[in-house]
Amino acid sequence: MIQTRTSDMLGAGGRQSMSEPSAPKISIELLEDLSPPQEPGFLRLRRLRLKNRVGDTPTDEYTYDMVERPALDATVILLHTHQNEVCLRSSLRPPLHFRADPEPAVLWEVPAGLIEPEEFARGEAGIRNCAVREALEEAGARIEPSDLVPLGPPSWLSPGVIAERLHFFRAEVSRDEMVTPTEDGSPVEAGGVIRWLPLTQALREAEEGRIGDVKSELGLRRLAAELLR
């Protein structure tokens, strides 16, 4: 069965400046689902045979691979003090180790975590609940949903591969009230280390490549836009 969707690049409300070029409207036809049989797991590979239509002009057929998972979106939490210190956590990322040119597998990142399907179904309240849970698990911060301040609109992380959307929040905390992170019990989170540093230093380290995680850099820049005006 062929399914067709139309994609465009217009912003909220479909408004676009007269001085900017119009984004193309491209429809996508799903011709066939070629996804291989897969065992239950964290990720699912989808292999689709597609055909586009750019305006009135059809394209050639092509095969496109993408990744899906039940918990698709994630929260990103910028924990900061009144003195503009920010919280980072060491994160183990095994794929970096298995590159053809291996990289160190531990990155400094801001706390973040996946929104469970039942949380996502609750809308904003569920997304905030996820952020509260992850702040405790990853950083040892006990916060309430009302402590969370949105940091800009959601952003796509790697839309060429997965339709994951990131929801950014900030919350002011006191370092004296932090507790031991509860973690999620997985080997990937074992041995994590918490680090506090001035926001200006964190931005500098991102610019120098010492904080190489893109969601963390974007979150830090959004936080600086609010706190360092």
The C-alpha angle with vertex 47 and arms to 118 and 113, in degrees rounded to 5, equals 30
Domains in the chain (CATH in brackets) are 3-8+16-68 (no CATH), 74-227 (3.90.79.10)
Answer whether 73's CB lies under 8 Å from 47's CB. no
- In angstroms, the CA 174 to CA 152 distance is 23
pLDDT one-digit tens code per residue, 191-220: 899 999 999 999 999 999 999 999 999 999
Q: Which regions of 69-211 does DSSP assign to beta strands (E)? A: 74-80, 85-92, 106-109, 112-114, 149-150, 155-156, 165-172, 194-198
pLDDT of 13 above 80: no
Structure tokens at 76: 């990103």
Record the pTM.
0.89
pLDDT of 187 above 50: yes
